[in-house]
Amino acid sequence: MDYRRTYRAAAVSFADLVSRLPADRWDGPGLADWSLRELVGHTVGSALRQVAPVLASPAASVTLGAPEDYWAFARSAPPELYAAATAASSTDARETGAWLGDDPAARVSELAGQATAALAAARDDDVVTTAAGGMRVRDWLPTRTFELVVHGTDIATAAGVTFAVPPDAVAEAVALAARIAAAVGDGELVLRALTGRAALPEKFSVV
């Protein structure tokens, strides 16, 4: 699976989704305590806006060697670090949501273009500085595709619109979710659920 192609496809589909969000839904519910605008802001900040700066920030060495390690790191972080990261994420969601302004579709489309252009200039094995440590481009970008697919679905559900997720991007996100489950010790549980052997616990999540 070509991680560059899946990211570009997910970014294009996400930009299309934002362009179709009803104007009267932006201040309504999004996800958990976030409004729809804040949920879009979080997705834009994590999966589009930061891509070009991260790809332009070399790291001295590889800290995390696979996409699933990024999410496993978040699960294993000390409580105080996790709480600080969660608070920072909420702040960024509000600020980026406000920054989108009255024409969010135009800003999202512009950011998608900037992110894909930066990706085109990066090499697979370039080591960049991410929030969790040094990662190769080919290992970090699938975590951004994951954000676009998962939160794109959240946004579409909250707004009551469709989200035409590219099949390859969905497949990559599902496969990554399974690898995250295995990395954090929930692999057997997820496998049994996916094969109809058992149900997942209420509110179960791999991230």
Q: Which domains does the chain have, with CATH numbers?
A: 3-194 (1.20.120.450)
Question: What's the DSSP call for residue 34?
Answer: E
Write down the H helix ranges in 100-160.
104-121, 137-159
What is the C-alpha separation between 115 and 172, in angstroms, rounded? 19
Question: What Cα–Cα distance (Å) separates residue 131 from each residue in 45, 124, 180?
Answer: 13, 19, 17
Cβ atoms 12, 152 nearer than 8 A: no
Q: Percent of the chain beyond pLDDT 90? A: 89
What is the CA angle 141-146-148, rounded to 5?
100
What is the C-alpha separation between 159 and 152, in angstroms, rounded? 11
Q: How many CB atoms lie within 10 A of CB 67?
A: 26
Q: Between 139 and 74, whose confidence is greater?
A: 139
**CA neighbor of 64 nearest in space, from 154, 136, 161:** 136
pLDDT, tens digit, 9 for 90 and up, residues 53-85: 999 999 999 999 999 999 998 878 778 877 787
Question: What's the DSSP call for residue 133?
Answer: E
pLDDT, residue 79, reads 81
Q: Say which range, 20-24, 84-88, 96-100, has the weakest mean pLDDT.
A: 84-88
Banded model confidence at residue 37, pLDDT cuts 50, 70, 90:
very high
What is the C-alpha separation between 136 and 119, in angstroms, rounded? 12
Mean per-residue pLDDT for 17-34?
96
Average pLDDT, the chain: 95
Q: Using DSSP bridges, classify how beta strands 127-130 and 133-136 pair: parallel, antiparallel or unpaired.
A: antiparallel
Q: What pTM value is reported for the model?
A: 0.95
pLDDT, residue 85, reads 79
The CA dihedral of 114, 119, 122, 128, to the nearest 10 degrees, is: 90
